[in-house]
Amino acid sequence: MPSRRTTCPDCDSKLTDIQIIDNDGPHGQAILEYTVGEAQPSMWTGRFPIAGKVNAMMCDQCGRVLLYASDKK
Does residue 2 form part of some domain?
A: no
- Total domains present in the chain: 1
Q: What is the mean pLDDT of residues 10-18?
A: 94
Does residue 53 form part of some domain?
A: yes
Q: Give tens-digit pLDDT for 15-58.
A: 999 988 766 666 766 777 788 888 898 999 988 888 888 889 99
Q: What is the pTM of this model?
A: 0.69
Owning domain of residue 60 = 15-71
CB 56 within 8 A of CB 18: yes
Could you please report the per-residue DSSP string of 3-65? PPPSB-TTT-PBEEEE----TTSGGG----EE--TT----TTT-PPPP-EEEEEEEETTT--E
**Do you know the residue count of the chain?**
73
